[in-house]
Amino acid sequence: MNDIDYSKVDTSKYSKEYSESNFWDKVKNYATKAGGKVIYNALKLYYALQSTDTPGWAKTVILGALGYFIAPIDLIPDVIPAGGYVDDAGVIAVALLTVATCITPKIKEEAKAKMCDWFGDSEIVKVVD
């Protein structure tokens, strides 16, 4: 489907795009368009970023990935129907793989709880692990 190697996308330049308020705005406004899995994974990164146990190198990776997610201009513009979040999902997935050892059960629970707060028992929540 997609021949882009997301592990080679330079997200470091996007870390300046990250802000907590921009993150929450993006998640709230695009949750149903981006899909539950993308939002859940972004939330896991967000809560890992907030954790004092997450090392600096991992926070740098997370800032780049979340900055990319927030950025209005990226590889595939988010306004493109049915495909605008493919690149965001790829970058977030690679970031999660990179910092996987930092994603604790507590972080997963925080992300899941936020999903349940926002979406209740809807289909979008059923993607959480």
Confidence band for 13, pLDDT divided at 50, 70 and 90:
low
pLDDT tens across 14-52, in order?
Answer: 666 677 777 777 677 666 666 778 889 999 999 999 999
Whole-model pTM? 0.72
Q: Can you give the pLDDT at residue 91?
A: 87
Tokens of 88: 């965001």
How far is the C-alpha of 48 from the C-alpha of 58, rounded, in Å?
9
Please check whether residue 43 is in contact with residue 50, taking contact to mean a CB–CB distance below 8 angstroms.
no
Q: Where are the domains of the chain?
A: 8-127
pLDDT tens across 76-114, in order?
Answer: 554 454 556 677 788 899 999 999 999 999 999 999 998
How far is the C-alpha of 85 from the C-alpha of 69, rounded, in Å?
9
Confidence band for 1, pLDDT divided at 50, 70 and 90:
very low
Q: Can you give the pLDDT at residue 129?
A: 60
**Which segments within the chain are labelled E, that is strand?**
none
pLDDT tens across 51-70, in order?
Answer: 999 999 999 999 989 888 88
